[in-house]
Structure 1
Amino acid sequence: MNHQEALTIQVFTLMDSLYEKGMDEVVISPGSRSTPLALAAEIHPHIKTYVHPDERSAAFFGLGLSKKNKRPVGLICTSGTAAANYTPAVAEAGLSHIPLIIMTSDRPAELRNIGAPQAIDQGDMYRNYVAYYTELPVAEGTQDYTGLIGAKVKQAGQYFTGTSLGPVHFNIPIREPLMPDLSRTDLFTRERIEVKEATIHYDVKPLNGNILVILGETDASLNHLEDVFSQPNVIVVADPRQHARIISDNVITAHDLIFSCLTDQQQDFINENLDYIIRVGEPLTSKLTNRFLGHSPVKQVLLSEFEVIKTFPVSPDEVYVGDIALTLNDLIGSGNDHKLKDWFINLDKEVRKYIDENIDSYNDEGRFMYEVLRRTGDDIIFASSSMPIRDVERYDTLSAKRIYANRGANGIDGVVSTAIAMAAKDKVTLVIGDIALYHDMNGLIMSKLNDIDINVVVFNNDGGGIFNFLPQYENKDHFERLFGTPLDLNFEYSAKLYDFTYSKIDSMDDLNDFKMPDSGRNIIEITTDRTDNLTSHQKLKSEIAQLVKRFDT
């Protein structure tokens, strides 16, 4: 067996075996050493490929392709720092349980650690973030590695579904010459295997009494549990990324404002009338709700979809792993005392009503977010980290949109790329700040190259607006340079560079005359002032605090 034949068999078998296990989309970043891998993916009859020249954005684009349905998505890059640029997205995928299949091409052993170009130590380079790592042998022609590759893919495949879901890494050293035999499509023979998700369900003893159910983000739909959520003894709080909040008026969504304002008497009322807290899925976005959970004396039970248990904000008393919908259904027992539930629901309605009735007196980012959420159709709202996800949580009084965000590592890198990848399959509006858009401006290229429609709403407050809400803001001597970081950017030029249409909104009058586009690639820049935004947010919070404190128990 000559070198080309061995190389062809290796990379074609790898690609076909990964397709068999569920991978049918691959994001390729151009490079020389990855030539055989890129060609294997490109000519595979059942794999859709995307080409992205920026590896950091490419990895987040792959993450976005997988984010909604958690199907395995492949990444291919050349050797050297190209592979290092995947790291932020791999970290996010690991923390968010997203099955990326990272295929990094590498120099063979004789070119490592001798100063050869484009060679770094790639062995297990994502060890802190991936669920599985392996390095394939060099295809030398002395041995048929088909069986070995099948075994390696089978090992990796256990992380493509179920309770161990997460990214995997194949490092693939390749010796020149790099061209495979493109006529060998006969090697693409495998058929897709529909893998049944391995889930765990326990014999559960129901909890009777008043139960506070905290719904974080989950992969599993909980919409069919509306009858359970409607029980008089069940109080349901939902993160903005939990889509079950859309199904019922029985779900509390103003919890961040409520828990930030409770009096001692109200805290005592809740603790005295609450028997259990059940936390479901990922930790919440709300810092104040997490603080409440961290200080609550009530017994807490955690339901996790994954074996990697996230105990934040406080270690639970009990943990169940696996089928969270079935477990939750069995865990919630009976109870007829609806006093606490009625108090929460009525207070939640009063908070949202107050925002609705008083929003016209504001002209800050919160007001703009309020309007944006009402001017989009059946879109997915992808909310960037920092202020956008928090403003979505506070100002989405309708709770009618499906909200997504990268909240594994909570970074601002890759937000644009993740959102555009989701827009390849759904109608998406991205809400983002100027720093985050600048950070992943390269990601806009995929909308142009693949004709992907998306609305990008950028709040431009000339810097990092969230830092105005933190203690650093009090140190005025160093704040602007180190934290405010004004960039003085005009995103009209970004729109021109990447062939987006551009609109600019400087006031509510501009927004009142503006219609959110139904299609196309659009950047809508909303200019705001960071200092005014802080003052307005604090004013609304203070007004809500008075409402909450006056609400009788």
Structure 2
Amino acid sequence: MTSDKKTVNLLADMCLAQGIRHIIISPGSRNAPLILTFAAIESFTCHVVVDERSAAFVALGMAQQTGDPVALVCTSGTAVLNYAPALAEAYYQQVPLLVLTADRPTEWIDQADGQTIRQDGIFTNFVRHHCTLPPDLHTPDDEWLCRRLIADALLAFDQGTSGPVHINIPLREPLYGRTVHQHKKTHHVAYSQGTSMPDADTLAELAQLWSGTERVMVLAGMHRPDVALQQVLQQMSERERVAVLTESLTNLYGEGFVRCIDRVVASIGDDEAPLFRPDLLITFDGQVLSKMVKTLLRKYPPREHWHISPHGHATDTYRCLTRVVEADPATFFTQLMPLVEPTKSRYRDLWHKRVEQTNQQHQQAMQALPWSDLKVFDMVLNALPTGMSVQLGNSTPVRYGQLFDVWNGIDCYANRGTSGIDGCVSTAVGAALARREVTHLLVVGDVSFFYDSNALWNQHLPSNLKIVIVNNGGGGIFRYIPGPSDTDELEQFFATSHHMHAEMIARQFGVAYWRCENETDLREQLATLMQHPHTAIVEVMTPAKESARVLKGYFAAMRG
């Protein structure tokens, strides 16, 4: 039996028709009709996460892996606001989430009633669509309106850029009534999307512009694995004038790509930077992590910058945008490249020679490393087996990940939509829940882990999740970036130094735990971690000041 609320039953029927199957529920009373209905329908898989902030990041991790919408259900009041950080991250990552918030009827808003805030449009800046449903369905017209509002909301997942959708649901008391609802295949509005591509004349024009350049840089940022795009980029990288630059989060791997761009760009001095400046820069949707390459391109901008976007986003990250091409990148490159005339150029080889140089410098630096954060990342990332999925925490771990060429056959993700530390652990939990056939490793800093340790308070903690905490006693990034590292307030206000360990947190949640402080222990415990049949944690203690000194020395070595 489901809830006796007609609105809720209609919503459930339409979610089924949309193909939504996973529901993340946080307990409450006002959302009782939603809980009773979703829990009663076998086609839904319901997960319970008490903390709404964590719940939203768990949903983000699930949808990030599958590309399918995951629904969130919570009660009214401040519970709703706790979704905001994850929704902002999902909005900028373009990850689909369906947010279902229970609410008081409109007449009770601002009337000093309990657990009542203004929820209509509360996430306007971070959702692709939002609506509030009518609380009562007395007439066929009422039902038609409700159905239309839900259909419009669900249709937003298929129209344009993906992202969160918010449906606010006012519900009257009594809240716990039940009925026998005959779930039936309901009316579903399908969306047939056309293929956006430049016409033949525009393609010819672009090919001519490309053919007139000697140096072309394709810069790929955060992206989901895409076989078609990877293949065409590999073909492009074989052309003498084209340098394809990728990051750890790009999830596109080619032998001809310039990988580990932070260590490569770090080696480029101001006197030679103009040689590496492209005539034509090509980007596509997905944030670029590397601040170094952003700085290089802003200081030495190309003559032309094309941004390829399926939905026509005019993203001007490098302050030199000259053209937006509304097209799927793989399709666009596949159709354009046969029209581009081959030409002699040293641009690709210039980058590849610098890659060879920095690879040698990197290997030399790794051989001489003392115990430090960088040594830990060298050991952990080089021990990754093919087929694993990795989540890198903000802010330091994801930057260390840029320095290692280990990502062939390994998926790599991080919350770089808004780059906050607040949901790294919960996102990894969701990712592991969504793809149970894969082992997921979260590499996270101590501050990020402690901030989001509530992620382990989860009835469904997946056994295929392994966690490595790099504990350097604070926010390590502030110890080496210019600015805070030179202030007297560094340790107290920026790095927020501490002497905490994660052992008691692990014990509280029944998670296996090991701690290590040297290479021998880490090597042994990594092997134990990967073989453990359940969620487990290895916490690695590293020296704070030494780690900052080592990393600064590493980049000095890259610069020669």
Q: What is the 5 A alignment of 1:33-182? A: 33-139=30-136, 141=138, 145-161=142-158, 163-182=160-179
What's 1:201 paired with? 197
**3-state secondary structure, aligned to 2:521:** helix
Match of 2:452 among 440, 443, 447: 440
Change beyond 3 A, Cα 1:228–1:267: same
Tell me if the contact between 1:366 and 1:395 (Cα under 8 Å) persists in the aligned partners.
no
* Residue number in structure 1 paired with 2:183: 187
Displacement of 1:349 in angstroms is 2.8
**Where do residues 487-502 of structure 1 align in structure 2 (5 Å cutoff)?**
487-502=498-513
Superimposed CA distance per residue, residues 158-188 of structure 1 (whole angstroms, 9 cap, x where no aligned partner): 321353211111111100011243421x134
Query: 1:235: which partner in 2?
Result: 243
2:276 equivalent among 270, 274, 280:
270
Query: Residue 254 of structure 1: CA displacement?
Result: 2.5
Q: 2:466 aligns with which of 455, 462, 478?
A: 455
Cα distance, 1:357 vs. partner? Answer: 3.7
SS in 1 for 2:403: helix
Residue 402 of structure 2: SS of its match in structure 1? Answer: helix
Moved segments of 4+, more than 6 Å: 191-194
CA distance in 1, matches of 2:517, 2:291: 30
Counterpart of 2:319 (choices 309, 314, 320) is 314
Structure 1 counterpart of 2:519, one-letter code? M
Q: Output the amino acid matched with 2:396.
A: M
The alpha-carbon deviation at position 192 of structure 1 amounts to 8.3
Deviates more, 1:149-158 or 1:410-419: 149-158
Determine the structure 2 residue equivalent to 1:550.
none
Q: How far apart are the structure 1 equivalents of 2:319 and 2:134?
A: 45
Is 1:526 aligned to 2:540, yes or no? yes
* CA–CA separation in structure 2 for the residues paired with 1:325 and 1:175: 50
Conserved? CA contact 1:75–1:100, under 8 Å: yes
Match of 1:347 in 2: 354
Note the C-alpha offset of 1:330: 3.1
User: How far apart are 1:311 and its partner, in Å?
Assistant: 2.0
Deviations 1:513-547 (A, max 9, x none): 3314234211010111221111000111111101x
- Residues 329-380 of structure 1 deviation map (CA, whole Å, 9 limit, x = unaligned): 3344233324221121122133123323431311221221121112222211
Q: What amino acid does structure 2 have at the position aligned with 1:347? A: R
For 1:486 and 1:263, locate their aligned partners in 2 and report how far apart those are by CA, in whole Å. 34
- Contact conserved, 1:457 with 1:525, CA < 8 A, in 2? yes
What are the Cα deviations for residues 59-86 of structure 1, in whole angstroms up to 9, with x where unaligned?
Answer: 0111111002321111100000100100
CA contact (8 A) 1:505 1:527 kept: yes
Deviation for aligned residue 1:40: 1.8
Q: How many Å separate the matches in 1 of 2:480 and 2:418? A: 20
- 1:530–1:6 Cα change, 3 Å: closer
Moved more, 425-434 or 138-147: 138-147
* Structure 2 partner of 1:217: 222
Query: Could you say which residue in structure 1 is the equivalent of 2:291?
Result: 287
Give the drift of 1:15. Answer: 1.5
Give CA deviations for 1:268-294 in whole Å, capped at 9, x if unaligned.
2233xx431111222310001011122
> Counterpart of 1:260?
266
* CA distance 1:431–1:270, shift in 2 (3 Å): same
Mapped partners of 1:504, 1:147: distance in 2: 59
Equivalent position of 1:509 in the other structure: 520
Unaligned runs of 5+ in 1: 547-553
Are positions 1:413 and 2:431 aligned together? Answer: no
Q: What residue in structure 2 maps to residue 249 of structure 1?
A: 255
Preserved CA contact (<8 Å) 2:197 2:326 = yes
Provide closer, same or farther for how the CA distance between residues 376 and 145 of structure 1 changes in structure 2, counting only shifts above 3 A. Answer: farther
Measure, in 2, the Cα distance between the counterparts of 1:372 and 1:456. 11
Contact kept? 2:131, 2:149, Cα under 8 Å = yes
- 1:471: how far off? 3.5
- Structure 2 residue runs of 5 or longer lacking an equivalent are none
The residue identity in structure 2 corresponding to 1:296 is: Y
Pairwise CA distance, 1:390: 0.3
Residue of structure 2 in register with 1:329 after alignment: 334
Query: Given the alignment, which residue of 5, 8, 23 partners 1:11?
Result: 8
Q: Is 1:481–2:488 an aligned residue pair?
A: no
Q: Secondary structure at the match of 2:217?
A: strand
Moved more, 483-492 or 382-391: 483-492
% same residue: 26
Q: Deviations over 1:476-497 (max 9, x none)?
A: 4322211111232111111111
Aligned AA (1:501): A
Aligned pair partner of 1:379 in 384, 388, 394: 388
Q: 2:19 aligns with which of 16, 19, 22?
A: 22
CA distance in 2, matches of 1:475, 1:118: 46
Cα displacement string for residues 85-134 of structure 1 (whole angstroms, at most 9, x for unaligned residues)? 00111111111111111111001123221111111111211111111111
| 373, 396, 402: which one aligns with 1:365 | 373
Following the alignment from structure 2 to structure 1, what is the Cα–Cα distance between the partners of residues 483 and 476? 12
CA distance in 2, matches of 1:345, 1:202: 32
d(CA) in 1 for partners of 2:453, 2:550: 29
- The SS at the match of 1:244 is coil
**In structure 2, distance between residues paired with 1:350 and 1:402:** 26
* Whole-angstrom distance in 2 between the partners of 1:193 and 1:224: 35
- Structure 1 vs Structure 2 CA RMSD: 2.3
Question: How many residue pairs get matched?
Answer: 537
Deviations 1:438-459 (A, max 9, x none): 111011123x534432111101
Q: 1:320 to 1:219 in 2, by over 3 A?
A: farther
AA partner of residue 282 (structure 1): G
Deviation at 1:460, TM superposition (A): 0.5
Distance 2:539 2:194 in 1: 45
Alpha carbons 2:225, 2:252 under 8 Å: kept: no
Q: 1:520 to 1:337 in 2, by over 3 A?
A: farther
Is residue 432–residue 462 contact of structure 2 (8 Å, CA) maintained in 1? no
Query: Compared with structure 1, are the counterparts of its residues 191 and 355 closer, same or farther at alpha carbon in structure 2 (3 Å cutoff)?
Result: farther
1:262 and 1:118 mapped to 2: Cα distance?
Answer: 57
User: In 1, distance between residues paired with 2:420 and 2:230?
Assistant: 29
